[in-house]
Structure 1
């Protein structure tokens, strides 16, 4: 039996800001994780490549408002920082 990946524990080292901001990042990161797992069967961020996050940003939030896209890009950058990569994402 495998354990469920704990996104909150994963992002704990890089999450800063108010309670509402931290909760928004966690909620968005869990949504991103679920969609990537569904599409590529990559359950944890440790197995992700840049293309996975770029795909999510391009195909799942492209019809959302500019503000929503901005907040998802911030979450993607937070994930990249936690993974210690130099991935760059644009809106």
Structure 2
């Protein structure tokens, strides 16, 4: 794939809050996308399954602080809402 998927365009419709919060969600969504693309070869969020996001939350954030994991969980929930999925994440 020669061009990276633009996460900002995907999340534009659901991002609210202060500019700092929007930047944080975008930065975290790009990190999630990069990790899933590297591990699972799923370049776009439409190709993701719930198990990919659970893997990210459980294995890539296992040594992070509770606050960091919480903020990534908020971003994951935002992604699920934008993808119109009914996935529930309780971490």
Is the TM value for this pair above 0.5?
A: yes
Aligned-partner Cα distance in 1 for 2:84–2:60: 24
1:46 deviates by 0.5
User: How many residues are paired up?
Assistant: 91
Aligned-partner Cα distance in 2 for 1:59–1:72: 13
Tell me what 1:3 maps to: 3
Alignment of 1:27-38 (within 5 A): 27-38=27-38
Q: Which runs of 5+ in 2 are unaligned?
A: none
Tell me what 1:57 maps to: 57
Aligned-partner Cα distance in 2 for 1:29–1:66: 18
Spell out structure 1 runs of 4+ moving beyond 6 A: none
TM-score normalized by the length of structure 2: 0.96
Alignment of 1:5-84 (within 5 A): 5-84=5-84
Aligned-partner Cα distance in 2 for 1:3–1:10: 15
Q: CA RMSD in A?
A: 1.0
TM-score normalized by the length of structure 1: 0.96
